[in-house]
Each structure stands twice: as C-alpha cells, then as structure tokens.
Chains A and B, each alone.
Chain A
Amino acid sequence: NAGVTQTPKFQVLKTGQSMTLQCAQDMNHNSMYWYRQDPGMGLRLIYYSASEGTTDKGEVPNGYNVSRLNKREFSLRLESAAPSQTSVYFCASRGAGRGYTFGSGTRLTVV
C-alpha cells in the first residue's frame, strides 16, 4: 500500500501564481487534513475534511481553498501565492483510530 501520496514534492512559484497541491490516500480513511510546517511554528492545520463532501477551516486557512474530490482525494489550492506561503505542506489521513498517516510533503517556495 502507498498510504498517503502527495504531488508534487517540490515547487517554486512566483508571487501571484496559482497552484494545486494533490493528495490521495488508499486506506479508505474518512478524515483528511492539510498542515503546513514552518521553522519554529510547528505543524499548523490549514483545512480538514471529516468525510467526503465536507470541509472545514483550521487554524490558518487564509489564502487557501480545498476540495474533497472523493473519499480518496483532498486537494489544496493557492489562488494567488504569496512569499508568506513558502512552507512545507503535509497531507494526512485518519481512519478509525486516533493516529494520523502523513504523506511525505510538498516543499513550496514562493519568490
């Protein structure tokens, strides 16, 4: 099993450009999450989806949108990238247990 797959692994954007980060899980999990990880700030929740068809804001949602396309896929979109969105982005999923399964991350630089 692949677990949680994120694409792309690396991306450089110019300020104002848009892009979509893709996330897919093959564990039949209901809940999916997007976090960003910054030095000294830890992991901060951007958006989450408790189940297919629902999405909710987390701690730092401004500048982002999400789509839960189906049970497997949860995408994160930056409509107009800003340098403050330079970060490492992690997607995670959760099944019946308490623990998360994380993807390997997308390293985004906005110049």
Chain B
Amino acid sequence: TQLLEQSPQFLSIQEGENLTVYCNSSSVFSSLQWYRQEPGEGPVLLVTVVTGGEVKKLKRLTFQFGDARKDSSLHITAAQPGDTGLYLCAGPEINSGGSNYKLTFGKGTLLTVNP
C-alpha cells in the first residue's frame, strides 16, 4: 500500500506569514497532485508535478517535486485569509495506469490564515 503522509496536520498562522507543508512517501510516484478543499466544498486541483526536481509556481504558491519522486512540498508566500483550507496531496496508485487509473490521497494539512 502506498501511503502519502502530510505534515503538519494543522497549521494556524497570521496573514502575511510564509509557510511550507509537506507530502512524503516511502514509494516512488510517477506524478503528484495538490488539491485545495474549502469548507463545504469538494477538492479543487491546484497543480500536477511530474518530473523529479520540478518546481511549479501558481501566484504565491510554489510546488516542488522531490528529486527521487517520493516527496513534494507546497510553499505559500505572504499567506492571505483566502488561502485557508485543507491542502491534499495525491498520487496514482501503483499499477493503476490507463483506464484503471486511481489516486491515493494524503490526509491533508488544514491551514488557517488569520487576518
């Protein structure tokens, strides 16, 4: 079973602070995805990283895929209250390619940004 462990589980910060959350596994993933889930809504895809060492930026959010493709991080610069939500990482299950594709999800980091 491929497990994705996310840390920290909870994070509460003040507006304007920087933060980093982590997604780690003992397994190699062909790709990893990050989702954000706001209260009462379903997760929304933010980014997919595919290549080891890859860095992608989405405004104030920076995503990095580890060189060995076993881990990923999400860094938020100058956090805003609108960044509040549950951040989930996800990767394809082993042997789940093509039409059999299934994602396994980490349990998430619940971020609260206080004004």
Interface residues of A, Cβ cutoff 8 Å to B: 4, 30-31, 33, 40-43, 45, 48, 50-51, 56, 58, 90, 92, 94, 97-105
Contacts and interface: CB of A to CB of B under 8 A. Distances in A.
Contact of A40 (B41, B42, B107): B107
A50 B99 contact: yes
B45 to A, nearest CB: 4
Given A4-B42, A102-B43, 14 more contacts: A33-B102, A43-B43, A43-B88, A45-B104, A97-B48, A98-B101, A99-B33, A99-B45, A100-B35, A100-B43, A102-B44, A104-B42, A105-B40, A105-B41
Nearest to B92: A98
7 contacts: A42-B108, A45-B104, A48-B102, A56-B100, A58-B102, A98-B48, A103-B42
B22 interface: no
A41 B43 contact: no
Nearest to A59: B104
B96 to A, nearest CB: 10
Interface in B42-80: 42-45, 48
A48 B102 CA distance: 8
Contact of B105 (A43, A94, A104): A43
A33 B101 CA distance: 10
Contact of A50 (B48, B100, B105): B100
Contacts of A50: 99-101
B42 A102 contact: yes
B88 to A, nearest CB: 7
